[in-house]
Structure 1
Amino acid sequence: MRKIAVSLALVVFAGTAIANETAIEGKWMRGDGNALVRIAPCGAKICATNLWIGDTGRGEEVGDKLVMSLTPGSSNTYSGTAYDPKRKMRYSIVVTARVGGLTTRGCLFGKLLCKDVMWTAAK
């Protein structure tokens, strides 16, 4: 019984350590499979830059950026603002990181119109 308890404690500890190391920086594939982005520092901010776009019919292009000012919160959550220079639009944004993935929630008009997007880690 003691070995099982120790094993469970190690699994919980390892899972917590992995979760705490989760970062938003890296390459991410959007849930619809139409975009690959790199999230990385750009000056004092963080940029999500399109590396690949499958269907450019919606106006998305390689090189488009979303410039974010984010503040870390609890449970691997970051919140702040995002600016899309191409469309000249500013959003409120919440990014929640988990092992192997992200969820972004972007909102307009005082958080009246929001959209969630799932992302998976890309190689």
Structure 2
Amino acid sequence: MRRFIVAALAALVTVPATAAAPQSITGRWATDDGKAIVDIYACGARLCGKVHKLLFTQPAGGQRDERNPDKAKRARHVSGLQIYWDLAADGAAWKGEGYSPEDGRYYKANLRAAGNKMTMKGCVSVFCKTVTWTRMSQ
């Protein structure tokens, strides 16, 4: 009887941890504003994200990271730019760091997928913005 109780308690402890794992966000995503496609991929034990392709007409020589607060980084191309790093599973979401080349801000990122949609909440201090991206077929 004691073994049964120990086994039942162990099952109760492990089931919620498994159930709370977030849905995978790896893959290719179209941004809500239609300006870019972003790849989310494994980088070590965590996830990262980079701009795969910009979907608007770019200036000659390509769109640059001109609003970056670090002047030394303003000449780098936005296409191929890493914009998420250190994303780790945290409950039902993926949390880590993000960067927006559109406004040059670094933020705390919280990404959560449901089916073919992903909500991305980015916060700078107490100010947050949430957008919804759509998974693209591979």
Query: TM-score normalised by the shorter chain: which range applies?
Result: 0.5 to 0.7
1:36 aligns with 2:52: no
Q: Return the alpha-carbon distance in structure 2 between the equivalents of residues 71 and 31 of structure 1.
A: 23
Q: Return the alpha-carbon distance in structure 1 between the equivalents of residues 108 and 31 of structure 2.
A: 19
Q: What's the TM-score once normalised by structure 2's chain length?
A: 0.59
**1:23 — aligned with what?**
24
One of 111, 118, 122 as aligned partner of 1:95: 111
Change in 2 beyond 3 A, CA 1:44/1:72: closer
**2:47 — aligned with what?**
46
Q: Return the alpha-carbon distance in structure 2 between the equivalents of residues 114 and 91 of structure 1.
A: 9
Q: Return the alpha-carbon distance in structure 2 between the equivalents of residues 21 and 53 of structure 1.
A: 28
Structure 1 or 2: more strand by fraction:
1
**2:133 — aligned with what?**
119
- What does the per-residue CA deviation read over 1:4-32, in whole Å, with 9 as the maximum and x for residues that have no partner? xxxxxxxxxxxxxxxx7831100101111
- Mark the runs of 5 or more structure 2 residues left unpaired by the alignment: 1-20, 66-77
Identity %: 27
Please report the RMSD computed on the Cα atoms of aligned residues, expressed in angstroms: 2.8
Change in 2 beyond 3 A, CA 1:96/1:33: same
| Structure (1 or 2) with the larger CA radius of gyration | 2
Determine if contact 1:68/1:83 at 8 Å carries over to the other structure.
no
Change in 2 beyond 3 A, CA 1:115/1:84: closer
| Counterpart residue type for residue 65 of structure 1 | Q
Q: Return the alpha-carbon distance in structure 1 between the equivalents of residues 93 and 44 of structure 2.
A: 21
Q: Return the alpha-carbon distance in structure 2 between the equivalents of residues 42 and 72 of structure 1.
A: 13
Count of residues paired in the alignment? 100
